[in-house]
Amino acid sequence: MNKLGIFMNFWEKNWDADHEKYIRKASKIGFDVLEFQAQPLLEMSDEKIRSLKAIADEVGIELTYSLGLDRNYDVSSLDENVRKGGVEYLQNIIRKMHVGGGTLLSGVSYAGWGTPDNFKGDKRPYWEQSIKSMKEIIKVAEECGVTYCVEAVNRFETCLINTAKEALAYSNEIDSPNIGVLLDTYHMNIEENNIGDAIRLVGDKLTSFHTGENNRTAPGRGHLDWDEIFGALSEIGYKNRIVCEPFVMEGGEVGRDIHVYRDLIDNPTEERIDEEAAYLLEFERNMLKKWNMA
């Protein structure tokens, strides 16, 4: 069965939090993977990172990473100083991931998160800058054994890569065994004509997958067609991780950055979120069984 994961900020309103607590919680609920923001790694000692890895190993959790790149480190910037600083920043994150045995990075990690300041409407120059940067970044990913997943996200979060087709074109330009594509059902719902076709287009280049409803609640709570989604994953023989990335609480850094301005489940106490996590895990396991992926 595909490894099933959960993103730590389902529970936490700030990007950094008590990682150990959530490693243990994810394991207890029954997940195989815990994903969290990669940036806090830069603030952690190597010893701390190794101790989190040891705890994760002990409870059978794989740690994967995601990021929304700070615009101060925009690797698609037309300002060469910003671009070069961004390359170094991402290379350092990859090296820190490697300290803890991490092998997978996703998110808006090919450009600053959001539309560039002073954007005139032509994304081509930013694309070229990002490609130039990624060719340097990917060398470190290759050395560290990290798969760099290019995540297609909706138009309000980047101008560079909104669709499966664009993510595929980008990864083909980089041409490395360490670059791949990540599709996320929430973003695909906004940008793709047909979600199944987008999954089939990427095919064996699909290195990770994020789930979430049309409004970023847990799978099964909104109106996405999960049979279409898991049917297409089954059709391409998808064997990699499936990480659920719901955001259901207003407030904090996460509510601000993800634009969650109301609670999307009633009374979201920690216990209630635990129950919702258990529910979505069961939902995804059932989908895998239904589509012969178990």
Least distance to Mn ion from the beta carbon of 159, Å? Answer: 17
Q: Pick between residue 66 and residue 83 the one whose CB is nearest to Mn ion.
A: 66
Candidate list 151, 192, 213, 284, residue with the active-site label:
151
CA dist 141 and 179 (Å) reads 9
**Residue 157 near Mn ion by CB under 5 A:** no
Candidate list 62, 245, 276, 284, residue with the active-site label:
245
Question: Which of 62, 184, 191, 276: binder of Mn ion (CB under 5 A)?
Answer: 184
Least distance to Mn ion from the beta carbon of 57, Å? Answer: 25
Applying CB under 5 A, which part among 81-89, 139-147, 181-189, 221-229 lies near Mn ion?
A: 181-189
**Residue 241 near Mn ion by CB under 5 A:** no
**Residue 19 near Mn ion by CB under 5 A:** no
Would you tell me the crossing angle of helices 46-59 and 19-29 to the nearest 10 degrees?
10
Q: Pick between residue 51 and residue 154 the one whose CB is nearest to Mn ion.
A: 154
**Residue 216 near Mn ion by CB under 5 A:** no
C-alpha closest to that of 218 among 130, 129, 289, 287: 287
Applying CB under 5 A, which part among 161-169, 182-190, 246-254, 270-278 lies near Mn ion?
A: 182-190
Q: Pick between residue 5 and residue 86 the one whose CB is nearest to Mn ion.
A: 5
Q: In the 8-state DSSP scheme, what is residue 116?
A: P
Binding mask 243-272 for Mn ion (x = CB under 5 A): --x---------------------------
The DSSP line for 52-96 is HHHHHHHHT-EEEEEEE--GGG-TT-SSHHHHHHHHHHHHHHHHH
Applying CB under 5 A, which part among 32-40, 177-185, 231-239, 272-280 lies near Mn ion?
A: 177-185
Least distance to Mn ion from the beta carbon of 112, Å? Answer: 17
Contacts 24+ apart (CB under 8 A), 259-263: 259/156, 260/216
Q: Pick between residue 51 and residue 103 the one whose CB is nearest to Mn ion.
A: 103
Task: Write out the two tokens for 98.
Answer: 């490697």
In the chain, alpha helices (H): 19-29, 46-59, 80-99, 124-144, 164-174, 185-191, 195-202, 226-235, 252-258, 270-290
Applying CB under 5 A, which part among 67-75, 90-98, 222-230, 239-247 lies near Mn ion?
A: 239-247
The yes-or-no answer on residue 245 being catalytic is yes
Question: Which of 53, 96, 210, 216: binder of Mn ion (CB under 5 A)?
Answer: 210
Q: Pick between residue 82 and residue 229 the one whose CB is nearest to Mn ion.
A: 229
CA dist 253 and 208 (Å) reads 25
CA dist 26 and 123 (Å) reads 39
Nearby residues of 253 by Cβ (< 8 Å), 6 or more positions away: 13, 14, 15
Q: Pick between residue 82 and residue 211 the one whose CB is nearest to Mn ion.
A: 211
Provide the pairing of β-strand 62-68 with 104-108.
parallel
Which positions are catalytic? 151, 245
Q: Which residues bind Mn ion (CB under 5 A)?
A: 184, 210, 245
